[in-house]
Structure 1
Amino acid sequence: MMIPNASSTLAQWLAYLEAAHPVTIDMGLTRVSAVKAAMQLDTDFPVVLIGGTNGKGSVAAMLSTILNRAGFKVGTYTSPHINDYNERVAIDLQPASDSLLIAGFVAVEQARAEVGVSLSYFEVGTLAAMHCFIAQQVDVAVLEVGLGGRLDATNAFDADVSVVVSVDIDHQAFLGNDRESIGFEKAGIYRSGKPAICADPNPPASLLAHAEAIGARLACVGRDYSYSRMDHQWSFRMGERALHALPVPALRGGYQMGNAAAALAVLEALRPRLPVSLGAIKRGLLEVEWPGRFQVLPGRPVTVLDVGHNPHAARALSASLRQLAFAENRYAVFSMLADKDLDAVVEILRDDIDHWYVGGLDGPRSQTGAEIAEKLAAHGLRNIHVFPKVEDAWHSALSHATENDRITVFGSFHTVAAVMAARTQSA
């Protein structure tokens, strides 16, 4: 296989990285830590590590936006992307340039060859992101955990503050089949003597025990910090610190206030190094953007985009949909990957959807529209319409929906990405 170089395109690099490692997910820190050491990726800026079954991207977005509005230069690493790989690595909320990413990939490849190991697509991306942040001399790096925590590539970096946003069932093949097993894996991002935030209101005993065993400075929602809602504002309290008259976050969904409180708990832990004014907090909450997370598009019919793909996310989506205005007909444009718990997701959302428009996705873990429709029918659902591609399902749903209806696009990052692309092409 031809190894790209500094003059190769980003597309060539990404194609190489996708094919270079024998398995897509290869958890463990030995290889990535060896390459990190060879690259001398030493940081003199604070690092925040954010894990959780759901909500970690939203917390990263709010935290990064607030820090940016406070005047700090922020590096943000998230995954997966929706449209372009560049979205994963942001400098001051803007996607990194191709040239900056390629420089990072070149540095990783040189060190990888020197060490003599193979790295996965995500491992290379993680190391390249930190290379970009160091090159850009950021004031703070915000890293979203890819999968789990303890053995995730992001955990090769020692975090100054670590957050577990939520713990629920997902990725059972890698993390375990119950919340206790998964909680232990996610608690693996906590560090001895460092601030550790838990935003799950019902933390697994395994998470609490691990934090205590390593001497992490654990702060739990409801115990060590809290938030209270009012009509059009809310308050946050942590220790002696109280913030009042905070604006409702720009990100839609009832769960986002809990995510915002987690971001403020991180800011409280960072305050000795990165002091942030109340004005910057308010601006960040009002101006944060995070596409595809209960994103309500302008216009009629009402269209909701949500990347949720597990039962925990489905419950949040159902609760948020029920807070919207009445819709005469409720359409779903839906597709899920084969390794996700489609049955549980469908059972949670079955009463929120009248018409199911399903289509296939591209990729090795995808299912055909017919396979998905068969599973929906097994749940006793009716009004199922099958299409070869999600894009086709979207166009058909849009042609049938009236201005008094609602279309909800959900089930996967890939589902939302396909519809976003289809909307752009038809605009």
Structure 2
Amino acid sequence: MNSSIENTRLESLSDWLAVLEKRHNKEIDMGLARVASVKERLGVSFRCPVIMVAGTNGKGSTCAMLESVLLQAGYRVGLYIKPHFLDFNERARLNGIPASDHELIRAFEKVEAARADTSLTYFEFTTLAICQLMADTELDVVILEVGLGGRLDAVNVIDADVSIVTSIDIDHTDYLGDTREKIGFEKAGIFRSGRVAICSDPQPPQSLIDHANEIGADLRLFGRDFNYSADKQQWNFGGREQRRNSLAYPGLRGANQLLNACAVLAALEALRFQLPVGAQEVRSGLVMVELPGRFQVMPGRPVVVLDVAHNPHAAAALSQNLDNMGFHAYTYAVFGSMLDKDIAGVLAHMKDKIDHWCVCDLPLPRAATAVQLEQQLQAAGIPQDAEHSVQKFISPEEAYAFAMSKAGENDRIVVFGSFLTVAGAMRARRSPQ
């Protein structure tokens, strides 16, 4: 389906995004043929190393740590990360700074001119545009986060020099399969023959290992090819050829961040001749890294935690991280989710951590309604008494405002679930009261 862009000059980034959201008849349309054909017409290619990152959880953290360390080392870094919270520009970072509207519009215009009659989804179009923008920019390294799966994700039209798969767990079953073996095969699709393929999941599916071996990738596994040791003050990394000792813990909180940091250091080891990085630059980069919405503890009282945990694997990590925070009189949850997620699996990890639930609608047709979330909580056995409650709201902003109005300074508010839930709370915090 062609749009009227050919006949209408779009002046703003918001105009472009509004058109792209409506253009294709499917939000997700798996397959690389259409994207690859437009990529070839664009002539997108990189003159620098490319690192690609896939995984069920931990992709964003790994990308952010890579960016932070490489910036500390003085390199010019391009990062494609998704989804965004408040502004689309967050998805394209050039040397640590979000791309400008003008830069993005110029890249959009190039994709539009090259695509001819090829129909692209919002994600496919914007992925090509951001790759075009980075190819047009003088960079020393490009980091690309995969959207969904790997093998058929639009990002996979790019051949990475180093590919990382972080964790593999059950999510997006309609597209990737309903077992870790099926999902592992999909994520291993980003591996390339003769190039470094890293997996930091401590128990990688055999399908991932088999695929890497079949195509002749240089597979590096956590526990076999790289590992870490740690005490309360610091940690050490050991790889095939490099050791990094006396490292500070990453600035990102959470029990799984050392696994993500290990993947980062394994990638830097693989690229040590093209992109040498010193010990102090690694230390500084890991300490200074920031990433919104990943066990992000906001300043002030009551304590507010923002976390995009939307599947059981991520919810288990969030639950453990909450346990490590110390005592809070009451914990309020602001929770919204897509309906196709394993909501029962998420609640199984979280139900004993929350006293008062504020469940909310989200502005997407495939989102679970607050009523549906309330029903899931009831099915999970959430008690209804003086110490527990479930309240329904039409938006995460309203749910967050209610939680803030009820929580005392010694209480805690946990905003989790869909990116849209966390984004709503971020907007509420940003808006003047």
TM-score (norm 2): 0.96
Secondary structure at the aligned position of 1:352 is classed as: coil
The match for 2:79 is 76
CA contact (8 A) 1:304 1:408 kept: yes
Instruction: State the one-letter code of the partner of 1:99.
Output: H
From 370, 395, 398, the equivalent of 2:401 is 395
Instruction: Establish whether residue 63 from structure 1 lines up as the match of residue 60 from structure 2.
Output: no
Instruction: State the one-letter code of the partner of 1:61.
Output: A
CA contact (8 A) 1:197 1:220 kept: yes
From 108, 113, 121, the equivalent of 2:111 is 108
Instruction: Establish whether residue 159 from structure 1 lines up as the match of residue 164 from structure 2.
Output: no
Q: Alpha-carbon deviation of 1:390?
A: 1.6
Question: Could you give the per-residue CA deviations for residues 226-264 of structure 1, whole angstroms, max 9, x where no partner exists?
Answer: 011111211001023111110110001111111111111
The match for 2:341 is 340
- Aligned ranges 1:294-309 → 2 under 5 Å: 294-309=295-310
The match for 2:123 is 122
CA distance in 1, matches of 2:15, 2:71: 32
The match for 1:22 is 25
CA distance in 2, matches of 1:335, 1:32: 32
CA distance in 2, matches of 1:309, 1:289: 20
Q: Alpha-carbon deviation of 1:22?
A: 0.9
Long gaps (5+) in structure 1: none
CA distance in 2, matches of 1:106, 1:248: 43
Secondary structure at the aligned position of 1:132 is classed as: helix
Secondary structure at the aligned position of 2:228 is classed as: strand
The match for 2:5 is 3
Secondary structure at the aligned position of 2:394 is classed as: strand
- Structure 1 ranges of 4+ moved more than 4 A: 4-7
CA distance in 1, matches of 2:245, 2:80: 30
Instruction: State the one-letter code of the partner of 1:341.
Output: D
The match for 1:405 is 411
The match for 1:362 is 363
CA contact (8 A) 1:25 1:120 kept: yes
Q: How many residues align?
A: 425
CA distance in 2, matches of 1:7, 1:349: 45
Q: Alpha-carbon deviation of 1:49?
A: 0.6
CA distance in 1, matches of 2:241, 2:77: 27
Secondary structure at the aligned position of 1:289 is classed as: coil
CA distance in 2, matches of 1:277, 1:333: 42
CA distance in 2, matches of 1:33, 1:317: 37
Long gaps (5+) in structure 2: 384-388
CA contact (8 A) 1:45 1:138 kept: yes
CA distance in 2, matches of 1:193, 1:7: 43
CA distance in 2, matches of 1:123, 1:270: 28
CA contact (8 A) 2:65 2:285 kept: yes
CA distance in 1, matches of 2:173, 2:135: 34
TM-score (norm 1): 0.98
CA contact (8 A) 2:298 2:304 kept: yes
CA distance in 2, matches of 1:348, 1:286: 29
Instruction: Establish whether residue 38 from structure 1 lines up as the match of residue 37 from structure 2.
Output: no
The match for 1:418 is 424
Secondary structure at the aligned position of 2:326 is classed as: coil
CA contact (8 A) 1:47 1:143 kept: yes
CA contact (8 A) 2:10 2:16 kept: no
- Aligned ranges 1:24-423 → 2 under 5 Å: 24-113=27-116, 116-382=117-383, 383-423=389-429
Secondary structure at the aligned position of 1:108 is classed as: helix
CA root-mean-square deviation:
1.1
Secondary structure at the aligned position of 1:49 is classed as: strand
CA distance in 1, matches of 2:186, 2:394: 38
Q: Alpha-carbon deviation of 1:288?
A: 0.5
Secondary structure at the aligned position of 1:188 is classed as: helix
Secondary structure at the aligned position of 2:151 is classed as: coil
CA distance in 1, matches of 2:369, 2:429: 22
